[in-house]
Amino acid sequence: MAKLILVLGDQLSTDLSSLRHYQPEDRVLMAEVMAEATYSPHHKKKLALVFSAMRHFAKALGEQGYNVTYSALPDSPSTLFDAVTRHIDNADALLITEPGEYRLLAEMQHWQAELGVKVTLLEDDRFFTSRREFARWSQGRRQWRMEHFYRQQRRNTGLLMAGAEPEGGQWNFDHQNREAWQPQALPPLKRYAPDAITQEVLALVEARFSHHIGELLPFEFAVTRQQALEELDDFITQRLPAFGTFQDAMASGEDYLYHSRLSPLINLGLLSPREVCEAACQAYYQGHAPINAVEGFVRQILGWREYVRGLYWTLMPGYKSHNALNSTRPLPELYWSGKTGMHCMSEALRNTLQNGYAHHIQRLMITGNFALITGLDIEAICDWYLAVYLDAYEWVELPNTLGMVMHADGGLLASKPYAASGKYIQRMSNYCQHCRYKVNKLTGADACPFNSFYWHFLARNRTTLAGNPRLAMVYRTLDRWDEAKLDAINQQVAWQWRRIENNDL
Ligand code: FAD
Ligand code: DLZ
Ligand code: SF4
């Protein structure tokens, strides 16, 4: 009985559950399709990355002896279902590792009836925790907290454990990981010159997707398993040792700092989360990187990445419709153009549009914080985050945006909204030194917009947020302010909104 095995664009792992069932009579199908390329206006660099990595992966599978059919754009069926329909004829069954996004899983669940052949969806076991294990962990818990989940993950995997105790005597070294930026020379990044396959993909993206967001060139990203391993090694040797210390820092003109840039490669399947965590732990045991760096890094992958995935699959499809703070303002044009006088925003947006990248603190505390405190429309901001990053897939983007940034799930993902005034940005970066606005001013034409938007956010969400013990202090401050001051904030915010609408903030 011959099987057709459909491998999706973010399933580029030779140990994929579906490929483990491959027999010599089977065929692997990979297809570039317009439906996947356009369900979001993906950044041009993301399209190039996904297509180039898919083509390289198919070639590598062929070289290893697999029968591979690769359907390349522009001459490809428009949907994955159409691609399967075209190639199913000699097969008696279709095998797929479950897709990462709910919308596709929901579609695939109808395929057996529509195709008339047996369709088997296998678990995607490239994660530390299965969907079922997360559902079991979360069931009956009054509160879901990443930190509790993470400790269980450490115990289950033995990563950074010394017997029953956490390595270094603590679960978390975050207090050492909040250094503000200090000017310093950063290690150079590795760049990969586009080969013939990538050049063909770049020409395709330029010809067919020129209206998509972002800058296509230069394109120097890793696209093969070998290059992904080089990227991992480069991060572990060059940047991991200082990763923890400057994890929350931001600096004008510095796009990556000591971050790993590995998320696009892990999410595509070119690196496994386990091998990445193990490489970081090895650096600790060999004395190459300190515990605060290694634990901080491992927590992002073993903790946060697994946690948001578990939460996504446990709560979808309902999760997508939450809007606890009633955020409804249309997304300002500046998110797409990057044009704004707010230097912190302009830096985060430049990085985003040029590189398809922004590090976590830029996503959370700059573009995310601005979206939260101005009350931007949930669907629009989620769509934006899904479109603009190389690593964006809904299973990881949605909980981070809707939950962590917008607090739209009412505090399920994060116990307090990550709202901040300009003061936080000033403390963690050098942005304010280059800005046309004055970070210490609350009102006036040159006042930092984050300040008035922040207090306005707290005032307008008082009913929902004032009971949160972690916000008690800021509400006590707000309570001391008289009507005149609150009125001035309202006027400042109204004026800033007019400037936003005129693309002039
Ligand atoms: P590093 O700082 O080097 O971190 C190491 C790794 O940890 C990352 O490669 C990533 O795999 C993982 N990680 C870190 N933080 C998170 C997190 N909060 N959730 C899940 N994994 C995490 N990450 C994505 O992979 N895809 C997304 O679509 C995505 N959308 C986001 C949207 C918002 C609004 C926010 C605030 C965060 C989002 N993140 C997303 C998480 C995080 O910002 C990125 O994983 C990280 O910036 C990627 O860069 P890096 O590889 O240099 O990360
Ligand atoms: C992201 C993406 C893009 C841009 N294009 C394709 C494609 O043409 N063919 C394909 O199989 N997969 C693609 N992908 C990845 C899918 O969108 C991804 O598998 C789902 O979103 C589930 O995570
Ligand atoms: Fe951003 Fe305000 Fe600082 Fe300007 S002054 S960089 S707007 S925080």
The predicted-structure confidence for 205-217, as pLDDT tens digits, reads as follows 999 999 999 999 9
**From ligand 1's centre to the CA of 264, what distance in Å?**
9
- What is the architecture, at CATH level 2, of domain 131-187+221-315? Alpha Horseshoe (1.25)
Classify strands 3-6 and 93-97 as parallel, antiparallel or unpaired.
Answer: parallel
- Residue 90: pLDDT above 90? no
Residue with CA at minimum distance from ligand 2 atom 12: 9
Q: Which two tokens stand for residue 52?
A: 């180039």
Residue 251 has φ and ψ, to the nearest 5°, of: -145, 135
> Which alpha helices (DSSP H) does 9-87 contain, by range?
34-38, 44-63, 80-87
Fold held by 334-501: DNA Cyclobutane Dipyrimidine Photolyase, subunit A; domain 3 (1.10.579)
Residue with CA at minimum distance from ligand 3 atom 5: 439
**From ligand 3's centre to the CA of 390, what distance in Å?**
26
What value does the mean pLDDT take over residues 78-101?
96
3-state secondary structure of 473: helix
Q: How confident is the model at residue 354 (pLDDT cuts 50, 70, 90)?
A: very high
Contact 251, 430 (CB under 8 A): yes
SS3 per residue for 80-105:
HHHHHHHHCCCCCEEEEECCCCHHHH
3-state secondary structure of 375: coil
**From ligand 2's centre to the CA of 73, what distance in Å?**
13
Q: Which two tokens stand for residue 442?
A: 């609350």
Q: Determine the residue of 45, 46, 47, 50 to mutate for testing ligand 2's pocket, defined as the one with the most ligand atoms within 8 A of the Cβ atom.
A: 50
Domain ranges (residues) in the chain: 3-122, 131-187+221-315, 334-501
**Residue 392 pLDDT:** 98
Residue with CA at minimum distance from ligand 1 atom 30: 397
Kindly report the number of other CB atoms within 10 A of residue 487's CB atom.
Answer: 10
Residue 419: closest CA among 491, 471, 381: 471
Pairwise CA distance, residues 307 & 404, whole Å = 12
306 in contact with ligand 1, CB cutoff 6 A = no
**Residue 106 pLDDT:** 98
342 in contact with ligand 3, CB cutoff 6 A = yes
Q: Determine the residue of 10, 42, 126, 309 to mutate for testing ligand 2's pocket, defined as the one with the most ligand atoms within 8 A of the Cβ atom.
A: 10
What value does the mean pLDDT take over residues 163-182?
92
Q: Which residues contact 153 (CB under 8 A, 6 or more apart)?
A: 128, 129, 159, 302, 303, 306
Pairwise CA distance, residues 212 & 132, whole Å = 37
Pairwise CA distance, residues 168 & 285, whole Å = 11
Q: Which residues contact 252 (CB under 8 A, 6 or more apart)?
A: 343, 347, 429, 430, 431, 433, 434
What value does the mean pLDDT take over residues 356-366?
98
47 in contact with ligand 2, CB cutoff 6 A = yes
Pairwise CA distance, residues 474 & 476, whole Å = 5
Quick one: angle between helices 44-63 and 196-208, nearest 10? 140
194 in contact with ligand 2, CB cutoff 6 A = no
3-state secondary structure of 5: strand
3-state secondary structure of 320: helix
Residue 155: closest CA among 303, 27, 376, 258: 303
411 in contact with ligand 2, CB cutoff 6 A = no
Q: How confident is the model at residue 37 (pLDDT cuts 50, 70, 90)?
A: very high
Residue 70 β-bridge partners: 30
Contact 396, 127 (CB under 8 A): no
Contact 160, 284 (CB under 8 A): yes
ipTM above threshold 0.90: yes
Q: Is 384 left (phi over 0), alpha (psi -120 to 50) or beta?
A: alpha
Q: Which residues contact 143 (CB under 8 A, 6 or more apart)?
A: none
Angle at the Cα of 438 from the Cα atoms of 434 and 443, rounded to 5 degrees: 155
**From ligand 3's centre to the CA of 45, what distance in Å?**
28
Residue 304: closest CA among 177, 128, 137: 128
| Count, residues in the chain | 505
**Residue 130 pLDDT:** 97
Kindly report the number of other CB atoms within 10 A of residue 22's CB atom.
Answer: 18
Q: How confident is the model at residue 397 (pLDDT cuts 50, 70, 90)?
A: very high
Residue with CA at minimum distance from ligand 2 atom 15: 9
- Residue 1: pLDDT above 90? no
Q: How confident is the model at residue 84 (pLDDT cuts 50, 70, 90)?
A: very high
CB-based burial, 80-95: b 16+ in 10 Å, e otherwise: bbbbbeebbeebebbb
**Residue 142 pLDDT:** 82
- Domain 131-187+221-315 shares a fold with domain 334-501: no
Pairwise CA distance, residues 164 & 58, whole Å = 43
CB-based burial, 130-152: b 16+ in 10 Å, e otherwise: ebeebeebbeeeeebebeebbee
> Which alpha helices (DSSP H) does 244-362 contain, by range?
263-268, 273-285, 291-298, 306-315, 334-337, 343-355, 360-361
**Residue 140 pLDDT:** 84
Residue 6 β-bridge partners: 29, 96
Q: Which CATH number fits domain 3-122: 3.40.50.150, 3.40.630.30, 3.30.420.240, 3.40.50.620?
A: 3.40.50.620
Residue with CA at minimum distance from ligand 3 atom 7: 342
* Averaged pLDDT of the chain: 97
142-151, 265-274, 304-313, 382-391: range with lowest mean pLDDT:
142-151
- Residue 273: pLDDT above 90? yes
Pairwise CA distance, residues 20 & 505, whole Å = 54
Q: Could you identify the residue written with the tokens 């300002």? A: 332
What value does the mean pLDDT take over residues 297-305?
98
